[in-house]
Amino acid sequence: MRTKPMLAVLAVTTALTMPSLALASQVTFTTNMRSFGGNGAYLAYYVTDGQGKYVGSLWMAGGKARYYEHLNGWYRATRGATREINGITGASVGSGRTLKITVDLADTLFDAGYRLHIDSAAEDMQDSPNEVVVPLTSAGADHAIKGSRYIADFTYSR
């Protein structure tokens, strides 16, 4: 299991809770990758509000910034600002592998119209923006969502 350094956890929690100074809970994301061949996939996890406006980045799997532009939804939302992911990056995720991370999310993000997006891309293969888009709801926890290209399925647990 990969976890972020404590400062990154505080930065993400602060960024996603500052407007309401809400409490945060640990949420575990489990992303199972399909067997797709080739190099590991880059994944960007980020949140938008009910109007589709970017709220914040939660995790970036893949460490080479030159490939971030292939995470189209995230890149467009952030204009490629790597400061959005400083301290919250890990290795790309290989074919057939599982990425499991735990993040602190503000409780106010649940059941309030916010959505978690996962963009994916793999070298020399087709990009997959918004491969997974899931409303952050209490009822949605522990329910698998199928990906459209590289992600077999994704779940979050509170």
Q: Dump pLDDT digits (tens) for 1-43.
A: 444 433 334 444 444 544 455 699 999 999 999 999 889 999 9
- Whole-model pTM? 0.86
Q: Which residue has the tokens 């077999």?
A: 152
Q: Are strands 89-90 and 115-122 parallel, antiparallel or unpaired?
A: unpaired
Question: In the chain, how many domains are there?
Answer: 1
Q: Check residues 2 and 153 and name the one with the higher pLDDT.
A: 153
Mean local confidence (pLDDT), 129-157: 98
Whether residue 135 has pLDDT greater than 90 = yes
What confidence tens digit (pLDDT) does each residue in 80-126 have? Answer: 999 999 989 999 999 999 999 999 999 999 999 999 999 999 999 99
Tokens standing for residue 155: 């779940």
Question: Are 150 and 36 spatial neighbours (Cβ–Cβ below 8 Å)?
Answer: yes
- Structural domain containing residue 36: 2-157
State the alpha helices, DSSP H only, in the chain: 6-17, 72-78
Tokens standing for residue 20: 């309401």
* CATH (domain of 128): 2.60.40
Question: Are 57 and 85 spatial neighbours (Cβ–Cβ below 8 Å)?
Answer: yes
